[in-house]
Amino acid sequence: MSKKYAFLFPGQGAQAPGMVKDIAESFAAAKKVIDDISSITGLDMAKLLWESTPEDLARSDNSQIAITAASLATMAALKEKGIEPSSAMGFSLGEFPALYAAGVLSFEDVIKVVRQRGIIMQKVCEEIAARNEGHAPGMTAVLGLTPDQVKALVEPIEDAYAANMNSLKQTVVSGTFDALAEVEKKAAEAGARRAVRLKVAGPFHSPLMQDAAVEFEKFLADITFNDPKINLFSNVTGGKVIDGDQAKKAAVLHLTHPVLWTDEEACLADVIKAGDEWSVLEVGPGKVLSGLWGQTEFGATLAAVPVNTAEGVSAL
């Protein structure tokens, strides 16, 4: 029985200066990915990935293309070793590398789409900040309360929305600066273990991003979305992606709808239970998704492995 692999791709917040530098130096296929993305975007990706300040890298127009480059470079290094996915899903931004991994988007198209998505979202986030006396919108992770508790907590707070269903004990809220301050106060009063402001540039996966969704839909009009060639799971539905048309519609809804990550994890677990030998790999910077997978019932018996260094790739 041959081993199968499920790839999990991280989203914004996973970025860090210097990410995947050792992978690009150790695997020719990874270095080629970085160079090809530079050619497509006109950006110096090596400089962006390895010489940016944390503040510059946190901007949506920088972080989205940088994290995607890091994830695709890592995937190329894995392919160089003969490791390819049979299932793929990505958290928030990570859904776009997953679309590429599943054959839904071509390499050139996924780079163009992610680059434009980041530019559009950064612009809308700056517009929201301008309307709020320069205070940037963002996201806060509430730890220690159930998703239903968080939803009830934010419902009366204007411009605050439960956005990412990370686990049974962690829900991320999107909102304006003032709304998030109120959420953090209410969460403490409700007994939350912590409320942590995230390193992201905007109130993603909420109605506050509607202007971005409208503009992004126009950009996607001429982009071809193919049917997935492997199991692919959707943040928007929490289930399997059926075809390219559904994937394209979800790419737009993605900006304003919550990330149903716990539902996706359950769907992946059902696929894994089918009897094959599986490994779950977090492909790209960080290890957040491995931690969330470990909080699931199934993750207790099959751990997810973060793959974000040359040593990690070589160890597989």
The two tokens of residue 145 are 């309360």
Q: Which of 277, 313, 311 lies closest to 6, judged by CA?
A: 277
- Taking the C-alpha atoms of residue 31 and residue 105, their distance in angstroms, rounded to an integer, is 21
Which tens digit of pLDDT belongs to each residue from 40-84?
999 999 999 999 999 999 899 999 999 999 999 999 999 999 999
CB-based contacts of 118: which residues, under 8 Å, 6+ apart? 60, 61, 62, 63, 64, 65
Residues in the chain predicted with pLDDT less than 70, given as ranges, are 1
pLDDT of residue 135: 87
Owner of token pair 């509607």: 210
What mean pLDDT is reported for the chain?
A: 95
Which pLDDT does position 200 carry in this prediction?
82
Rounded to 5 degrees, φ, ψ at 87 are -140, 150
Distance CA 18, CA 304 (A): 23
CA nearest 187: which of 217, 220, 142, 151?
142
Q: Residue 138 and residue 82: Cα distance in Å, rounded?
A: 39
- Rounded to a whole number of angstroms, the CA Rg of the chain reads 18
| Residue 243: per-residue pLDDT | 98
| HEC string for 219-274 | HHCCCCCCCCCCEEECCCCCCECCCHHHHHHHHHHCCCCCECHHHHHHHHHHHHCC
Question: Model confidence over 127-163: pLDDT tens digits?
Answer: 998 988 888 899 999 999 999 999 999 999 999 999 9
CB 88 within 8 A of CB 98: yes
Catalytic residues: 92, 205
In the prediction, which pLDDT does 132 show? 84
| pLDDT at 1 (0 to 100) | 54
Side chain identity at residue 136, one-letter code: A
Q: What's the rounded Cα separation, in Å, for the pair 81 and 18?
A: 23
